[in-house]
Amino acid sequence: MTEACPYLPEPDPTMDWRSMNTSKGKKGTHFYMTALQYAQVLWLRQLPARAVLAVNRALLTELVGDEPELKKWPLPYRAMAWMLENYKDESFVGNPRVHFQHLATRVKGGRTEQRRWRAWACWYLSRQTRPYLPGDEKQGITGPKREDIRSGLRTFGIPDELVTWEAVVQERELV
């Protein structure tokens, strides 16, 4: 049995892809909480790559920072790091470092800068948790330094986002 991610809410085990689709039209915390719960479902079903994508969707949700749900379930940088640290290589399809690099360099639409810096923040976590994973050298992008990510999250993030991310980064440094 797979251990549940301690940084994600307990889900409704009957959730499936339709849960995400039905909440797509709903904004803010409803979609955020659905994405977090669905990530836990996917994790428990031993689908770590899809679980990471669901957490990624939660991170890209538009929130202002004062939502009550964020008190109990802050932006899921800690959940992301935990999942990146705990998946089995043989059960993961793809390379999360490349995924976040591509996301950060190709993001479009509303809140582009906020979403870009969140992707770079996850890229940084993937480098910390899986330093042996290669980046996409074909792009010719090495990625930002930690201070650049800090600056991006400070400028474009929601209240307490930088503190949340930085705490996770510091925890990983102690491991």
The pLDDT tens digits of the residues spanning 110-157 come to 899 999 999 999 999 999 999 999 988 888 888 999 999 999 999 999
What is the rounded CA–CA span in Å between residue 119 and residue 139?
A: 16
Compute the C-alpha angle 120/115/113, nearest 5°.
90
Q: Is the pTM of this model over 0.85?
A: yes
- The answer to whether 139 touches 105, Cβ cutoff 8 Å, is yes
Contacts of 32 (CB under 8 A, 6+ apart): 58, 61, 63, 67, 69, 73
What are 162's two structure tokens?
Answer: 């930088």
The C-alpha torsion from 45 through 169 and 89 to 50, rounded to 10°, is: 40
Instruction: Say whether pLDDT at 40 is over 60.
Output: yes
What is the rounded CA–CA span in Å between residue 19 and residue 154?
A: 32
pLDDT score at 2? 79
